[in-house]
Structure 1
Amino acid sequence: MQNFTNGATASLIPAEWIKSRKSEANGMCVEVAALPQGRIAMRNSTDPDGPALVIRNAELEAFIDGAKKGEFDFLCAGN
């Protein structure tokens, strides 16, 4: 089992990368992949060979909770 860390080349992580169905037609989106030990890798779909952000499941849960509550809406264009 490999231990991937932040900054690992995303395309070298042997996992199934998934993205939101709401992603733009030109492919600009964030993709995620499940890793061993309850971790998640995130990458920019327009730079699949770029660095991956590796986080714990609990960190993603906290982020999703905040996003559902609108805590990051101010970061979106037009808000």
Structure 2
Amino acid sequence: MAESTTTQHAPAGWHKPDLDLSNAAWQSSSQGMGDVQIAFVEGFIAMRNGGRPDGPSLIFTPAEWRAFVIGARDGDFDLT
């Protein structure tokens, strides 16, 4: 599978960078076996589906990432 080299272009009004992710150091909580992987690139946080690494990546600012992590810790995304 070919590695995605850039993120998909954001809709108008969004100010997300078009990052080169081809050399990103992807990490997962399950030592590379998990479905969710993250990478820290140029001051942003990229997230992708590890099962489909050639698919699109989500790009977060540090503030957005912090809000996501805090929400996850607080149980905001727990299934009921």
Unaligned ranges ≥5, structure 1:
none
User: Counterpart of 1:70?
Assistant: 75
User: Counterpart of 1:34?
Assistant: 40
Distance 2:23 2:51 in 1: 18
Which secondary structure state, in structure 1, belongs to the residue aligned with residue 24 of structure 2? coil
CA shift, 1:22, in A, is 7.9
Which secondary structure state, in structure 1, belongs to the residue aligned with residue 63 of structure 2? helix
Q: Letter of the aligned partner of 1:20 in structure 2?
A: S
- Say whether the 8 Å CA contact 1:33–1:41 is kept in structure 2: yes
Distance 1:67 1:14 in 2: 28
Percent identical across equivalent pairs?
A: 42
- Equivalent pairs counted in the alignment come to 66
User: Counterpart of 1:54?
Assistant: 59
TM-score (norm 1): 0.68
CA shift, 1:7, in A, is 2.2
- Say whether the 8 Å CA contact 1:5–1:54 is kept in structure 2: no
Query: What is the Cα-based RMSD across aligned positions, in Å?
Result: 2.7
Q: Deviations over 1:20-62 (max 9, x none)?
A: 1388xxx3410000111x2011110000111111111111110
User: Counterpart of 1:16?
Assistant: 25
Unaligned ranges ≥5, structure 2:
10-20
- Greater per-residue helix proportion: 1
